[in-house]
A and B are shown apart, each in its own frame.
Chain A
Amino acid sequence: MSMWSQETQNRAKEIISRYPEKRSAVMPLLYLAMAEEGHLTDEGMEEVADWVDLTPAQVRSVASFYTMYKRERTGQYLVSCCTSISCMLLGGDDVLHAIEDESGVPHGETDAEGLLSVEHVECIGACGGAVAVQVNYELIEGVTPEKARELVRWLKKARPESVNTDEMQELFGGVKSFDWGIKEEDAAVGPYPAFQPLGTIKSAGDS
């Protein structure tokens, strides 16, 4: 018997139907399990195992390999600061410290309220726009320590239901690596990446 909501179960079925083999759906389903409970629990992994015909040990093997599967309680906003080479050279560590200081949350942890989680990450592919920061995997480039503090204050105060890369770039970003010229409409409902089949997205049209 599934412990998931009907909606999540429907999503799971839909995702599995896209693959010739059930086990191929293990990764998206791990996100579903995460979204269902806020983070990945043992029960969530067992549920995924049931859906894709793997053993829980195999599912946990996948889940524990990737850092984006959070097996600990994670805040509504996951703030990730890049400290890999490009960002480090342009002050990534200072930005990280600013975030930690302003939020009171050391990296790798979550505040008591469950609002903010802070982490430092390896290169997130925005080296041209260093220092890069993500909130719920929505990117902000050219971030300075001051702007990072503003970002944290904004998250705490405004508590947006979803976050959008363009909006945050406008408010807290600096030089961008590349401008596609297309407005990004979708916003992420965290702390997961915005992805339509997972239901972790808020589109412009949604009310």
Chain B
Amino acid sequence: MSEPVTIKVDGKEFEVRPGELLIKAAEDHGTYIPRFCWHNRMKPVGMCRMCLVEVDTGRGPMMVTACTNEVVDGMTVDTQNEAVQKAQEAVLEFLLANHPLDCPVCDKGGECPLQDQAMAYGPGESRFVEIKRTFEKPIPISELVLLDRERCILCARCTRFSEEISGDPLIEFQDRGNKTEVNTFPDHPFSSYFSGNTVQICPVGALTAKPYRFRARPWDLHMVESSSFFDTAHPRLSIHVSQNEILRLVGIDSEPVNHSWLSDKDRFGFEHVRSENRLDTPLVRRGGELEPVSWSEALDMVGNRLGLIVEESGGDSIAVIGGASGTNEDAYALSRFARTVLQTNNVDATMGEGPSAHFLAASIDRGLIADVDDADTVLVWGPDLKETHPTLYLRVRRAAQELGVNLVVIHPRVTGLDDRATATLRYRPGGGHELLSDLSDGSHEQVTSLISGKVVAIVGQASLADDPGLAESVAAFVREKAGTPRIIPLANRANIYGALDMGLAPDLLPGRVAYGPEAAPEPWGEIPAKRGLDTPGMLDALSEEKIRAVLLVGADPVGNSHEPELASDALDLAEYVVSIDTFLNDSNHYADVILPAAGFSEKDGTITNLEGRVQKVNKIIPAPGQGRPDWSILDDLSTVMGKSMGLGSPETIAKEVAAVAPAYQGISWDLLEWDARDGAVVPLDGEQPLTHIPVRAKGTKAPSAELLLHQGRVMYDDGVRLRNCHYLSRLAPGPVAHIHPDEAKRLGAREGVAVRVVTSKGEGEFAARIDEGTPEGVVFVPLHQPGAARLGTDPVVRVTVVT
């Protein structure tokens, strides 16, 4: 670290880091220099000239832009003398030469940097009498974003974001001089997964979001900080509410997590919250029909019935599936309820997907998101981060693009990061383990030689055809190669890491402790000794009629399953099914009782992200109708069942967690609300109560069929929350099959024609997408698409054109 330098701003002297931009250094020390184009998370361009200040470095005073000039020792800066004021007035007069004065009907009015700075630094009057330029207004530049070009002040924030940050430069300046405008190419919309960020950073009202346009004035909004439940990195955001309705979400600049950026799914996915399909009253199935009942009636029925089954057949006859969609407090309540009230270890929040619970919760060398910034090499061998983990995607992209980090991407087809990768490797769906042993045998030297120094390995299930143990084997391989790498194991599902940390897996207890009757937290009393089943195990046991009752908590085994008949047959055999959820789902068809739950923004609590960071989430609106948080439903059930947990409130649960869950010691709501606003990574002292050392598994080979099926998650799918979002629900690609152009030629398929895809477990019609990113011999089908047939996990596939 080089020596700090001393600069003097408006007569005040302070020390700053050399090389820092003047505008940032001044701001950090309390002097705000006005700006439009400069943004803390992007490179400076010096487009708008609003940041002009007078600087003297010994050669006499000079007017310079504070956003493009670095501090040097002895610099004196004047940010408000007469010359500077005159310059600021001139800049604003020019910016307003064309900017319309339509603030009263502009969404940005009241929170507009141009409005504010024109007030603070403008001349008050303009000498321009010419007619302002006008454009057709507004034009949609994507499904979500509208552009009013006459308001644009050409700061290039949006265009730089799309090129520098999200890597999809589909908007650019067009034309020049007085005619310059931001626009897309005709028929190439700004269909970026991150388009909403441009609305947030536009310093005027030129870019607006369809879901928010004309909905509110900023001074009418209530706000609270929270985190997104979509991306498992839990990007930080602020919820803006009017009259008990969420109107928008705005990204918060959290240094360790999301740098203020949100994917459009995280930003606009709130629409499901007020969907008319939300469950708002307890429902009981009578004569095949679901009928509304009161809470007390529902709780009595459920409690008595479950109690009876436990008494008759023991806790082993009960299955608890889910629990990853709520807060840590909800998950803890469920974990305790299952073990102590239901007397069962059949609990599983992973739904049988992805890497093992031990690996996800307790992997040794767990990495942080920020670790990618100063890594030598980042290895991504898992899902396409752009589709599944957008926050991590932006961070890795930046590391490779701006920070000179080597990036190795291994995936069955092209991913969103490939254009920035130092090296990429492809493998046949299901052939991951084969490639891995080739790599350890020394093939692809050029690629494996990059895996040294400070390595961050981001691992997860890349393809449904992959053995779920592959991610762990990759981690083991990287540890052999690079000593102590940082490992980020990936999973999907809202608060899955928090749920596992609360013990929602057959082999875990709260606080990252391996399951064992003697390890039970003190207030729990005695817990069952028998090892529990995971989700596939529970479904099998149901088919064998060894399990009588199922408790689903935000879980839809049928909707989730790649072989839905197996799951629905299993649930059909269950004697009693209870579901706690926010929406009706496919599995609820088999439910005897459905209890309405509170969801995002409707409850207080904490959640834990993929790096183990605990953040506070907050309630700002009530749940619709009689919806309640999971913990309180479970608490009441325990009372009905005569084994009251007496949980009290989410905050008392949080205190109990801190007391009994070793990894969560020292975590309190106070800490997260005051001293650790960016969240705190558990365990606070770094001492892992359980460390899981990744194990290298044998694994299978890719089948030798000519054509193999690669199925992977994409950003937009038919998940129940997305399905209930007005705008986002239209963005799912639907049933499509990506085929390489040469493969398509062989099959006689053209873009858009219907092809029949047949596997051993399913078949259906898909629209062909001709795609150079999918290798020959592979068909890529995005998972969980509305209207798409389920194809099972076996990659052997036949594809024919439907005639």
Could you tell me which A residues sit within 8 Å of B by CB distance?
A: 42, 45-46, 54-61, 64-65
Q: Are A56 and B185 in contact (CB under 8 A)?
A: yes
Which of A42, A45, A55, A64 meets B169, CB within 8 Å?
A55
One digit per residue, 1 when the CB lies within 8 angstroms of any chain A CB and 0 when it does not, for chain B 694-712 equals: 0000000000000000000
CA–CA, A54 and B169, complex, Å: 8
Q: Are B183 and A57 in contact (CB under 8 A)?
A: yes
Q: Are A58 and B175 in contact (CB under 8 A)?
A: no
* Residue B523 at the chain A interface, CB threshold 8 Å: no
Q: In the complex, which residues of chain A have a beta carbon less than 8 angstroms from the beta carbon of B171? A: 57
Q: A57-B185, A60-B174, A60-B185 are in contact. List 6 more A-B contacts (CB 8 A).
A: A55-B170, A57-B174, A59-B185, A61-B173, A61-B174, A65-B176
Q: Are A55 and B188 in contact (CB under 8 A)?
A: yes
One digit per residue, 1 when the CB lies within 8 angstroms of any chain A CB and 0 when it does not, for chain B 242-269 equals: 0000000000000000000000000000
With A64-B176, A65-B175, A65-B176 as contacts: A58 and B188 at CB distance below 8 Å: no
CA–CA, A59 and B183, complex, Å: 12
Q: In the complex, which residues of chain B have a beta carbon less than 8 angstroms from the beta carbon of A59? A: 185
Sample (12) of A-B pairs whose CB atoms are under 8 Å apart: A42-B185, A54-B169, A55-B168, A55-B185, A57-B171, A57-B183, A57-B184, A57-B188, A61-B174, A64-B174, A65-B173, A65-B175
Q: Are B176 and A57 in contact (CB under 8 A)?
A: no
Q: In the complex, which residues of chain B have a beta carbon less than 8 angstroms from the beta carbon of A65? A: 173, 175-176
Q: How far is the CB of B502 from chain A (nearest CB, A)?
A: 45
- Interface core residue of A42, A55, A56, A57 (most chain B CB under 10 Å): A57
Q: Are B172 and A60 in contact (CB under 8 A)?
A: yes
Q: How far is the CB of B181 from chain A (nearest CB, A)?
A: 10
Q: In the complex, which residues of chain B have a beta carbon less than 8 angstroms from the beta carbon of A64? A: 174-176
* Residue B186 at the chain A interface, CB threshold 8 Å: yes
Per DSSP, are chain A's interface residues mostly helix, strand or loop, or mixed? helix
Q: Are B188 and A56 in contact (CB under 8 A)?
A: yes
CA–CA, A60 and B183, complex, Å: 10
Nearest residue (CB) in A for B186 is A42
Q: Are B172 and A57 in contact (CB under 8 A)?
A: yes
Q: In the complex, which residues of chain A have a beta carbon less than 8 angstroms from the beta carbon of B184? A: 57
Nearest residue (CB) in B for A60 is B185
Q: Are A58 and B186 in contact (CB under 8 A)?
A: no
Nearest residue (CB) in B for A53 is B419
Q: In the complex, which residues of chain B have a beta carbon less than 8 angstroms from the beta carbon of A60? A: 172, 174, 185
Q: How far is the CB of A36 from chain B (nearest CB, A)?
A: 19
Could you tell me which B residues sit within 8 Å of A by CB distance?
A: 168-176, 183-188
Nearest residue (CB) in A for B184 is A57
Nearest residue (CB) in B for A61 is B172
Nearest residue (CB) in B for A42 is B186
CA–CA, A65 and B173, complex, Å: 9
Of all A-B residue pairs in the complex, the 3 with the closest CB atoms, nearest first, are A56-B185, A61-B172, A57-B185
Q: In the complex, which residues of chain A have a beta carbon less than 8 angstroms from the beta carbon of B172? A: 55, 57-58, 60-61
CA–CA, A45 and B188, complex, Å: 12
- Interface core residue of B168, B170, B174, B184 (most chain A CB under 10 Å): B174
Q: How far is the CB of B190 from chain A (nearest CB, A)?
A: 8
CA–CA, A96 and B184, complex, Å: 36
Q: In the complex, which residues of chain A have a beta carbon less than 8 angstroms from the beta carbon of B185? A: 42, 45-46, 55-57, 59-60
Q: Are A57 and B175 in contact (CB under 8 A)?
A: no
Nearest residue (CB) in A for B419 is A53
CA–CA, A46 and B183, complex, Å: 15
Q: In the complex, which residues of chain B have a beta carbon less than 8 angstroms from the beta carbon of A54? A: 169
Q: In the complex, which residues of chain B have a beta carbon less than 8 angstroms from the beta carbon of A42? A: 185-187
Nearest residue (CB) in A for B179 is A64
Q: How far is the CB of A26 from chain B (nearest CB, A)?
A: 12
Nearest residue (CB) in B for A59 is B185
Q: In the complex, which residues of chain A have a beta carbon less than 8 angstroms from the beta carbon of B186? A: 42
Q: How far is the CB of A46 from chain B (nearest CB, A)?
A: 8
Q: How far is the CB of B111 from chain A (nearest CB, A)?
A: 28
CA–CA, A8 and B554, complex, Å: 59
Q: In the complex, which residues of chain A have a beta carbon less than 8 angstroms from the beta carbon of B173? A: 61, 65
Which of A45, A46, A57 meets B170, CB within 8 Å?
A57
Nearest residue (CB) in A for B190 is A57
Nearest residue (CB) in B for A45 is B185
Q: How far is the CB of A81 from chain B (nearest CB, A)?
A: 20
Q: How far is the CB of A136 from chain B (nearest CB, A)?
A: 23
Q: How far is the CB of B149 from chain A (nearest CB, A)?
A: 14
Q: In the complex, which residues of chain A have a beta carbon less than 8 angstroms from the beta carbon of B176? A: 64-65
- Interface core residue of A54, A58, A61, A65 (most chain B CB under 10 Å): A61
Q: In the complex, which residues of chain A have a beta carbon less than 8 angstroms from the beta carbon of B175? A: 64-65
Q: How far is the CB of B165 from chain A (nearest CB, A)?
A: 15
Q: How far is the CB of A111 from chain B (nearest CB, A)?
A: 26
Nearest residue (CB) in B for A63 is B174
CA–CA, A65 and B170, complex, Å: 17
CA–CA, A201 and B694, complex, Å: 66
Q: How far is the CB of A82 from chain B (nearest CB, A)?
A: 19
Nearest residue (CB) in B for A46 is B185
CA–CA, A55 and B186, complex, Å: 12
CA–CA, A55 and B187, complex, Å: 12
Nearest residue (CB) in A for B185 is A56
CA–CA, A59 and B171, complex, Å: 11
Q: In the complex, which residues of chain B have a beta carbon less than 8 angstroms from the beta carbon of A55? A: 168-170, 172, 185, 188
CA–CA, A58 and B172, complex, Å: 6
Q: In the complex, which residues of chain A have a beta carbon less than 8 angstroms from the beta carbon of B187? A: 42
Q: In the complex, which residues of chain B have a beta carbon less than 8 angstroms from the beta carbon of A58? A: 169, 172
Q: How far is the CB of A63 from chain B (nearest CB, A)?
A: 9
Nearest residue (CB) in A for B163 is A58
CA–CA, A42 and B173, complex, Å: 16
Q: How far is the CB of A85 from chain B (nearest CB, A)?
A: 19
CA–CA, A61 and B171, complex, Å: 9
CA–CA, A159 and B344, complex, Å: 94
Nearest residue (CB) in B for A49 is B185
Q: In the complex, which residues of chain B have a beta carbon less than 8 angstroms from the beta carbon of A57? A: 169-172, 174, 183-185, 188
Q: In the complex, which residues of chain A have a beta carbon less than 8 angstroms from the beta carbon of B174? A: 57, 60-61, 64
Q: In the complex, which residues of chain B have a beta carbon less than 8 angstroms from the beta carbon of A61? A: 172-174
CA–CA, A59 and B175, complex, Å: 11
Q: How far is the CB of B8 from chain A (nearest CB, A)?
A: 41
Q: In the complex, which residues of chain A have a beta carbon less than 8 angstroms from the beta carbon of B188? A: 55-57
- Interface core residue of A45, A54, A64, A65 (most chain B CB under 10 Å): A64
Q: How far is the CB of B187 from chain A (nearest CB, A)?
A: 8
Nearest residue (CB) in B for A54 is B169
Q: How far is the CB of B157 from chain A (nearest CB, A)?
A: 16
Nearest residue (CB) in B for A62 is B172
Nearest residue (CB) in A for B183 is A57
Q: How far is the CB of A47 from chain B (nearest CB, A)?
A: 12
Q: How far is the CB of A12 from chain B (nearest CB, A)?
A: 18
CA–CA, A60 and B170, complex, Å: 11
CA–CA, A56 and B172, complex, Å: 10
CA–CA, A30 and B183, complex, Å: 19
Q: How far is the CB of B541 from chain A (nearest CB, A)?
A: 53
Q: How far is the CB of A1 from chain B (nearest CB, A)?
A: 8
CA–CA, A39 and B22, complex, Å: 46
Q: In the complex, which residues of chain A have a beta carbon less than 8 angstroms from the beta carbon of B169? A: 54-55, 57-58
Nearest residue (CB) in A for B141 is A57
Q: In the complex, which residues of chain B have a beta carbon less than 8 angstroms from the beta carbon of A45? A: 185
Nearest residue (CB) in B for A66 is B176
Q: How far is the CB of A60 from chain B (nearest CB, A)?
A: 5
CA–CA, A64 and B186, complex, Å: 13
CA–CA, A45 and B172, complex, Å: 14
Q: How far is the CB of B193 from chain A (nearest CB, A)?
A: 15
Nearest residue (CB) in B for A65 is B176
CA–CA, A42 and B186, complex, Å: 8
Q: In the complex, which residues of chain B have a beta carbon less than 8 angstroms from the beta carbon of A56? A: 185, 188
Q: How far is the CB of B39 from chain A (nearest CB, A)?
A: 20
- Interface core residue of B168, B171, B185, B188 (most chain A CB under 10 Å): B185
Q: In the complex, which residues of chain A have a beta carbon less than 8 angstroms from the beta carbon of B168? A: 55
CA–CA, A58 and B188, complex, Å: 11
CA–CA, A54 and B183, complex, Å: 15
CA–CA, A57 and B186, complex, Å: 8
CA–CA, A60 and B174, complex, Å: 7
- Interface core residue of A45, A59, A60 (most chain B CB under 10 Å): A60
